Amino acid sequence: MSVHLGLAVVARFGGPRGLWGDEKAYIRSALAVLQGDPSWWPVPLWPPLYPRFLAGVLGVSGYHQGAITVVQTVLLFIAAAIFGDLVRRWTGASTAGMVAFFLMAGFPPLAAYCQFLWPEVLHLVLTLAALWILVVRRDSCSWLALAGVSLGLALLTKSLLGPFLPVLLGAAFFGDHGPRRAFRLAVVVGAIAVVIGPVMGLQYRRIGVPVIADSSAFNVWVGLNDRGVRSFDEPVVGKAYREFWEGEATFGERNARVRHQSLQLVRERGLVPVLKAQIGRQYVRLFDKDTYLTEQIPGGAAVVQGSGYASLGPRLSAGVRIVSYGAYALLLLTAPLGFLVWPFAERRWPRVLLLFLLYNLALFLILHVKSRYRIQLLPVFFLGSSAAIAWLEAGFTGRISPRTVKGRVALAGILSVVMLYLAF
Contact predicate 152/194, CB 8 Å: yes
- pLDDT at position 32 is 96
Contact predicate 374/317, CB 8 Å: no
pLDDT at 286 over 90: yes
Q: With bands split at pLDDT 50, 70 and 90, how would you rate the model's confidence at 386?
A: very high
- pLDDT at position 227 is 86
Distance of CA 308 to CAs 21, 328, 341, Å? Answer: 10, 21, 41
- pLDDT at position 318 is 96
* 88-137 residue pLDDT tens: 999 999 999 999 999 999 999 999 999 999 999 999 999 999 999 999 99
Helices (H) and strands (E) in the chain, counts: 19, 0
- pLDDT at position 345 is 77
Of all residues in the chain, the percent with pLDDT exceeding 90 is 82
List of residues 6+ apart from 195 with CB closer than 8 A: 148, 149, 152, 153, 155, 156
* Mean of per-residue pLDDT scores for the chain: 93
- pLDDT at position 180 is 79
List of residues 6+ apart from 348 with CB closer than 8 A: 171, 174
- pLDDT at position 100 is 98
List of residues 6+ apart from 55 with CB closer than 8 A: 29, 30, 31, 33, 34, 40
Positions of E strands within 210-269: none
* 47-84 residue pLDDT tens: 999 999 999 999 999 989 899 999 999 999 999 999 99
- Return the bridge partners of 18, or none: 308
pLDDT at 208 over 80: yes
Distance of CA 155 to CAs 30, 161, 165, 199, 418, Å? Answer: 18, 7, 10, 11, 32
Nearest 5 degrees, angle CA 1-CA 112-CA 293? 135
From CA 253, how far away is CA 272, in angstroms rounded?
29
pLDDT at 396 over 80: no
Q: With bands split at pLDDT 50, 70 and 90, how would you rate the model's confidence at 42?
A: confident
CB atoms within 10 A of CB 213: 22
Query: Which of 9-13, 33-37, 257-261 has the least mean pLDDT?
Result: 9-13
- pLDDT at position 238 is 87
pLDDT at 272 over 70: yes
| Element housing 80 (H / E) | helix 66-91
CA dihedral defined by 340, 112, 324, 11, rounded to 10 degrees? -170
pLDDT at 401 over 70: no
Q: Is 38 exposed, middle or buried (0-12, 13-18, 19+ CB in 10 A)?
A: exposed
| Element housing 28 (H / E) | helix 22-34
pLDDT at 397 over 90: no
pLDDT at 233 over 90: no
- Delimit the domains of the chain by residue range: 2-423
